[in-house]
Amino acid sequence: MKPIISPSLLSANFLHLDKEIEMINESEADWLHMDVMDGVFVPNISFGFPILNAVGKVCKKPMDVHFMIVHPENYIQQTADSGAAIMNVHYEACIHLHRTLQAIRSAGMKAGVTLDPSTPVNVLEDIIGDIDIVQLMSVNPGFGGQKFIESTIKKVERLRQLINRENSKALIEVDGGVQADTAPRLVKAGVNILVSGSYVFKASDPKATIHSLKELETL
């Protein structure tokens, strides 16, 4: 199977966002990754619902919305109303994670959980059956263009073992430092979804770059 490619809008040219969305629509990208940051949970502020709502009207690919904020559970219905297909929340930000995942699914979206680099995969052992997507951060969250954390490869392997052992249908997504060197190794380790920002949007030919990622073979 081919991996799902979800280019990260955080690395796009926001002065020409219409052109960037047009490129995504015409490319082999499967989803569009949207990073919402609040300056509290992570040390950066990105964009919010004005961008989500605007992009949702013109993007032909499912929006994969990643919330790096405190209390993401307060914005579930608003996220669904923007047209998002996936809502991804941080394990570290959700006190009542099971309730939050149920609410996301009830709103008609796929429910994702993100783990920071220092959070072990075994924290999901009792809830893996209720998760549609587990996203592993392979950089510290908050900024694009960071160096890939090499220990992520073994973390993917441990997560794949957990998913298989519990007969979960959860997909594995990795966000951060995904490029020509890391993407094949991630896919070989068991990743289903590749999030790539700078590598795609800063490329001389973003569509060709997306195609090269799409050509990788998943397990």
**Residues known to be catalytic:** 35, 175
- Residue 174's region, left for phi above 0, alpha for psi from -120 to 50, else beta, is beta
How many Å apart are CA 15 and CA 199, to the nearest integer?
19
Nearest to 103 by CA among 75, 122, 84, 125: 75
How many Å apart are CA 161 and CA 157, to the nearest integer?
6
∠ CA 62-79-107, rounded to 5°: 90
Whether the CB-CB separation of 142 and 42 falls below 8 Å is answered with yes
